[in-house]
């Protein structure tokens, strides 16, 4: 009997459903469950295993395992598994092919029609890459619809109300989508522009629980994870236990997480109240996204029949409560929200197919063990199955919004869009992930006026942070743990924990990305130095003695020098990066906190906290050019990407000011939150981010108008911010929360 197949290739799980004789039901993929984990394992002979088979082998050889690779779609840097690079679409294709093979084996014939689902907020680039997935799985073509369309179709199939308008709130394992749809007589119509948040889902909530466990154990997990394969295996098991605790808290008021470390056994309890406090800010961000989708659709909340909650993470009780309270509308959630998308896709399969004959299934071709290829390989497998071409997709209302950039006038913050003109610490070389040579960087994205928190990464007491020039990693200094953590930005995972010779404070990375310079000093004692790290191995190459209490240091644009503000010595130590020695010192006013360079490197600006002055230094002559009075306690400086102005965060004044680079005159001041400790511009020059340590927020300032466009709640005691080179994400360190907040700063 012929059947249609709907497949939901999720971030953390894969689900499939079949439709035969007008009836839709789930298709069992797992050994003991209907759905399977989105996990792959590359064997030594090059064969790729997926799902349960991959999970069973993950503990023994974690370096051969890939997870959450859907998040990597569009990332030019491939995933390296077992020494072989793979693109995200290649791994998705392998997973899909295994789903097709299992369906064919179980049903005795291939599906007549296949429909895949994708997030609604993906742009053309990722849609095009996702279009390659069925081809890599052996299909000439397969129909693709958005996940909200599929979920709404399944919801509508159980109701017979025409012209019903529903908001789809899709919070899955790794992404969030908000879409407004209308059910017509014979289709599902998307209204307005879908909204979404990258890198926000259940895996981020799991990481928040893991950070809670690590904090409860005083950083024991962070320390143990750095001890090689054994630590990685234990951490993987603990991550699974954290995920199970999260699910338990949906039905219970507390959960206990067992922690098995060598010679130590701990039990950490987390209450539902604690968990809800951890995830409240991200859920508020999803509701803001949902409101934007409603505005785009020109639909008011009272016009909604319901808010349909989709995705496994929507089962968290706080989600339904906050969504209902915010919009004043009832929520509708299926008994199995993980299944709704696959069921809807299967139900719609016939609408996306021609009447071409079904293909003959060909058996997979066993691949030879591959040598590491120069480009990400396509997964080995069968020759292509021929499939009918889909019909025109479901009606989508609302045209794609074209944004025309205009050249803005010079203003207070230099606004205007567009891009700017075992040694101590030694670790196994595999600790920092192996990557293939980077490809061309993506273009700078347009920054959002109201970014949202998209995730939280557990790091013990993080302070200083810097992102590598290719955007692949963030280096985070933790004074309390004595380590520098290395975050892989594409996955949000801590990939290495580097032991430092002294307590690390702040970090900067050279423009070539090869070295990180870390300011280090203990809470008490005479030692004051800068540690030099090899970013590829994590080894401490050198230590450089500097003045007392080195603070927020900065590498020069040409990479030849690192300028170190010595807080208690009232001087700048200049490190020659060719020799890693101090080549000069410059006396400045008391308590220098932060250094920033103009894009051409000609001028350095120094914030002098106790003197209420910003000092401008000619980098060629080492002479002070000007000293500009600013509001009380200038703590951080950042030069606009276009080089026109300098932003100054004044800690005790609760404000951010702008100084003209040419005249050194104060241009204006805007109030932000309490105790702004760090400022940074978006790469497109449109917005400025101010981290408010005293109010646990980030203020977003429009560079053109000087107005605060958003105040974003983050963790407790935020200290520093770093923005990725493409402007799509900002990372905020929260000392008291033991976490790094991830902000989605661009569409």
pLDDT tens digits for 510-542? Answer: 999 999 999 998 765 567 899 999 999 889 999
Q: Are strands 624-629 and 634-639 parallel, antiparallel or unpaired?
A: unpaired
Identify which of 625, 651, 642, 631 has the alpha carbon closest to the alpha carbon of residue 718.
651
Q: How far is residue 330 from each of residues 160, 320, 326, 741, measured CA to CA in Å?
A: 18, 9, 11, 31
Is the Cβ–Cβ distance between 270 and 258 less than 8 Å? no
pLDDT tens for each residue of 482-513? 899 999 998 888 888 888 888 899 999 999 99
Residue 705 pLDDT > 60, yes or no? Answer: yes
- pLDDT (mean) for 577-587: 96
With cut-offs at 50, 70 and 90, classify the pLDDT of residue 376.
very low
- Using CA atoms, how far residue 335 sits from 253, 276, 310, 338, 339, in Å, is 20, 22, 10, 9, 9
Radius of gyration of the chain measured on its C-alpha atoms:
26
pLDDT tops 70 at residue 112: yes
State yes or no: pLDDT of 385 exceeds 50: no
Cα separation, 494 vs 438, whole angstroms: 20
pLDDT in tens, 286-305: 998 899 999 999 999 999 99
How far, rounded to the nearest angstrom, does the alpha carbon of residue 523 sit from its chain's CA centroid? 32
Contact 592, 572 (CB under 8 A): yes
Give me the pLDDT at residue 439, please.
39
pLDDT higher than 80, residue 396? no
Count CB-CB contacts under 10 A for residue 581: 12
Taking the alpha carbons at both ends of the chain, their separation in whole angstroms is: 45
Calpha distance 493→285 (Å, rounded): 21
Has residue 365 got a pLDDT over 50?
Answer: no
Query: Kind and range of the H or E element at 158?
Result: none
pLDDT per position as a tens digit, 662-697:
999 999 999 999 999 999 999 999 999 999 999 999
CA distances from 665 to 349, 619, 660, 706 (A): 65, 19, 5, 16
Reported as a single tens digit per residue, the pLDDT across 257-267 is 999 887 778 89
Does the pLDDT of residue 43 top 90, yes or no? yes
Tell me the mean pLDDT in the region 552-559. 97
Alpha-carbon span 27 to 35, nearest angstrom: 8
Residue 234 confidence (pLDDT): 76
Contact between 649 and 688 (Cβ < 8 Å): no
- For residue 308 the two structure tokens come to 């349909």
User: Residue 369: CB partners within 8 Å, gap ≥ 6?
Assistant: 44, 45, 46
How far is residue 19's CA from residue 103's CA, in Å, rounded to a whole number? Answer: 12
Mean pLDDT rounded to a whole number for the chain:
84
3-state SS string for 191-229: EEEEEEECCCCHHHHHHHHHHHHHHHCCCHHHHHHCCCH
pLDDT score, position 428? 32
Tokens found for residue 283? 């859920």
Residue 82: pLDDT over 60: yes
Strand partners, 617: 604, 624
Distances (CA, A) of 695 to 379, 462, 675: 49, 17, 7
Looking at residue 359, its pLDDT comes to: 35
How far CA 182 is from CA of 162, 308, 330, 401, in Å, comes to 8, 12, 17, 20
Closest CA to 61 of 44, 79, 85, 46: 44
The Cα–Cα gap between 417 and 442 comes to 17
pLDDT bracket for residue 5 (50, 70, 90)? very high
Query: CA 574 to CA 554: how far, in whole Å?
Result: 10
Residue 427 has pLDDT above 60, yes or no: no
Identify which has the larger pLDDT, 640 or 194: 640
Q: Domains of the chain: which residue ranges?
A: 4-200+277-352
DSSP β-ladder status, 483-488 and 493-499: antiparallel
- DSSP symbol at 696: T
CA distance 60 to 45: 16
Report in angstroms the alpha-carbon separations of 732 from 671, 743, 745: 20, 8, 12
Helices 272-297 & 317-327, crossing angle to 10 degrees? 40
- pLDDT the model gives residue 200: 82
Residue 594 has pLDDT above 70, yes or no: yes
Sequence length of the chain is 747
Short-list 51, 675, 702, 77, CA closest to 375: 77
Indicate the helix (H) or strand (E) that contains 294: helix 272-297
Comparing CA positions, the residue from 152, 199, 110, 163 lying closest to residue 487 is 199
CA dist 380 and 138 (Å) reads 10
Residue 661 vs residue 497, higher pLDDT = 661
Distance CA 368, CA 575 (A): 52
- Which phi and psi angles does 375 have, rounded to 5°? -120, 160
Comparing 569 with 604, the larger pLDDT belongs to: 604
Q: What is the pLDDT of residues 214-253, one digit of tens each?
A: 888 887 777 676 555 566 677 778 888 999 999 999 999 9
pLDDT value of residue 441: 54
487-493-496 Cα angle (round to 5): 55
Give the contacts of 739 (CB within 8 A, at least 6 positions apart). Answer: 208, 211, 456, 457, 458, 459, 462, 715
Inform me whether the pLDDT recorded for 429 exceeds 80. Answer: no
Closest CA to 349 of 30, 51, 11, 23: 23
Confidence of residue 203 (pLDDT cuts 50, 70, 90): confident
Instruction: Confirm if 99 and 14 have CB atoms less than 8 A apart.
Output: yes
At 399, is the pLDDT very low, low, confident or very high (cuts 50, 70, 90)? very low
Residue 587 confidence (pLDDT): 95
Question: Is it the case that residue 379 has pLDDT exceeding 50?
Answer: no
Q: Quickly count: other Cβ atoms within 10 Å of residue 674's Cβ.
A: 13
Find tokens 């809800």 and name the residue. 276
Task: Reply yes or no on whether the pLDDT at 357 is more than 50.
Answer: no
Determine the 3-state secondary structure of 450 from DSSP.
Answer: strand
Q: What is the CATH number of domain 4-200+277-352?
A: 3.30.420.40
- pLDDT of 410 above 90: no
pLDDT for residue 460 is more than 60: yes
Cα dihedral 627, 629, 632, 636 in deg (nearest 10): -50
pLDDT category of residue 416 using cuts at 50, 70 and 90: low
């Amino acid at each position: 009997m012929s059947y249609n197949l709907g497949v939901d290739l999720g971030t953390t799980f894969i689900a499939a459903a079949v439709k035969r004789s007008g009836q839709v039901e789930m298709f069992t993929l797992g050994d003991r469950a209907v759905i399977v984990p989105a996990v792959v394992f590359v064997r030594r002979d090059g064969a790729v295993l997926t799902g349960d088979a991959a999970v069973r082998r993950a503990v023994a050889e974690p370096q051969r395992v890939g997870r959450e690779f859907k998040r990597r779609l569009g990332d030019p840097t491939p995933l390296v598994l077992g020494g072989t690079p793979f693109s995200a679409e290649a791994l998705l294709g392998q997973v899909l092919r295994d789903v097709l093979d299992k369906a064919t084996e179980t049903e005795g014939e291939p599906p007549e029609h296949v429909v895949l689902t994708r997030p609604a907020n993906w742009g053309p680039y990722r849609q095009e890459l996702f279009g390659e997935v069925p081809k890599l799985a052996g299909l000439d073509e397969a129909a693709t619809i958005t996940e909200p369309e599929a979920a709404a179709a399944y919801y509508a199939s159980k109701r017979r109300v025409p012209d019903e308008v529903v908001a789809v709130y899709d919070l899955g394992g790794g992404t969030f989508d908000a879409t407004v749809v209308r059910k017509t007589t014979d289709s599902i119509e998307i209204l307005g522009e879908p909204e979404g948040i990258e890198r926000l889902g259940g895996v981020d909530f799991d990481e928040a629980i893991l950070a809670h466990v690590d904090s409860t154990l005083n950083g024991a997990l962070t320390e143990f994870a750095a001890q090689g394969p054994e630590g990685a295996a234990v951490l993987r098991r603990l991550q699974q236990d954290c995920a199970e605790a999260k699910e338990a808290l949906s039905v219970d008021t507390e959960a206990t997480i067992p922690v098995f470390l060598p010679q130590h056994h701990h039990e950490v309890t987390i209450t539902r109240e604690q968990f809800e406090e951890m995830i409240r800010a991200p859920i508020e961000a999803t509701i803001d996204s949902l409101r934007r989708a409603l505005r785009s659709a020109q639909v008011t909340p009272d016009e909604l029949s319901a808010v349909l909650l989709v995705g496994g993470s929507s089962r968290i009780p706080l989600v339904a409560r906050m969504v209902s309270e915010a919009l004043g509308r009832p929520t509708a959630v299926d008994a199995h929200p993980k299944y709704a998308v696959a069921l809807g896709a299967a139900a719609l399969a016939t609408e996306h197919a021609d009447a071409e004959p079904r293909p003959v299934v060909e058996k997979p071709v066993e691949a030879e063990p591959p040598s590491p290829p120069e480009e990400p390989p396509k997964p080995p497998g069968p020759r292509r199955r021929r499939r009918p071409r889909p019909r025109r997709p479901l009606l989508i209302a609302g045209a794609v919004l074209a944004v025309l950039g205009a050249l803005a006038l010079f203003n207070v913050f230099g606004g205007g869009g567009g891009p700017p003109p075992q040694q101590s610490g030694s670790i196994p070389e595999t600790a920092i992930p192996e990557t293939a040579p980077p490809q061309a960087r993506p273009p700078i994205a347009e920054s959002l006026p109201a970014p949202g928190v998209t995730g939280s990464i557990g790091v013990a007491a993080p302070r200083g942070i810097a992102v590598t020039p290719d955007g692949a990693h963030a280096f985070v200094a933790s004074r309390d743990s004595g380590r520098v953590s290395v975050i892989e930005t594409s996955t949000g995972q801590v990939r290495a924990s580097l032991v430092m010779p002294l307590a690390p404070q702040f970090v900067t990375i050279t423009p070539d990305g090869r070295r990180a310079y870390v300011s280090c000093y203990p809470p008490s004692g005479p030692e004051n130095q800068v540690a030099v790290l090899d970013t590829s191995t994590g080894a401490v190459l050198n230590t450089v003695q500097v003045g007392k209490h080195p603070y927020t240091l900065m590498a020069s644009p040409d990479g030849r020098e690192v300028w170190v503000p010595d807080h208690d010595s009232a001087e700048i130590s200049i490190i020659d990066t060719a020799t890693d020695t101090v080549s000069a010192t410059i006396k400045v006013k008391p308590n220098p906190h932060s250094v920033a360079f103009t894009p051409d490197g000609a001028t350095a600006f120094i914030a002098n906290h106790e003197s209420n002055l910003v000092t401008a230094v000619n980098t060629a002559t080492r002479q002070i050019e000007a000293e500009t009075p600013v509001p009380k306690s200038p703590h951080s400086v950042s030069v606009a990407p276009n080089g026109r102005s300098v932003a100054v965060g004044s800690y005790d004044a609760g404000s951010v000011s702008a100084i003209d680079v040419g005249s050194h005159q104060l241009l204006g001041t805007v109030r932000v939150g309490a105790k702004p400790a760090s400022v940074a511009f978006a790469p497109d020059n449109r917005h400025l981010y101010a981290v408010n340590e005293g109010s646990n927020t980030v203020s977003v300032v429009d560079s053109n108008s000087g107005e605060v466009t958003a105040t974003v709640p983050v963790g407790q005691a935020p200290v520093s911010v770093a923005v990725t080179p493409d402007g799509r994400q900002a990372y905020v360190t929260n000392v008291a929360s033991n976490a790094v907040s991830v902000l989605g700063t661009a569409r």
